[in-house]
Structure 1
Amino acid sequence: MSPLQSELFSKWSKAFDSERHKLLAIRRQEGIEEVKRKGIIIDKKVSLKTYLKFCKGEPSISVKYHLIDGKIEAYEMPLNPHGLIQGELNEM
């Protein structure tokens, strides 16, 4: 991985962590379906190749995300019990 990609991936990881709090707030106030509908854009103009390298290298991202039309979008919090408890504790 090039230094530029490493820097980009680090930026994305930090953005996912930050946006996780927004997703939790939306879920608490408006429900899970609204979280899925809104989504939060992490970055634009991302190539599939770069996105796949990121997915392979960063398996521990705490939100669900996808690439649509060149945009990485965080769209859902994990619903397993550990994810819910972790999210609630982080908000305290």
Structure 2
Amino acid sequence: MPKVACFQIPGLTCWFWSNDHEPPHFHVKRDGEWELRVKFLESVDQMFELVWGAEPKAKLLRKITQAVAENRMNLLAEWEANVNQ
């Protein structure tokens, strides 16, 4: 379970499953509250998929969206290096 290395958001855990599926994505969770699948090459309205728990607050989704926008190419490089190799 490689962690996302190109950014961190305090209070959240972001990672890739090493044997995951397309489309390129990472997982993010707040322990005990929720988990999202973040399809970082998609548009904002298609980017987030709730895996379990309550929907995160809009402010936190904006932080994740900003981190993705600033690191999209790095995320793709990490996906290619860590998933299904």
Same fold at TM > 0.5: no
TM-score band w.r.t. shorter chain: 0.3 to 0.5
Q: TM-score, normalised by structure 1?
A: 0.32
The structure with the larger Rg is 1
Q: Which has the higher helix share?
A: 1
Q: Which has the higher strand share?
A: 2
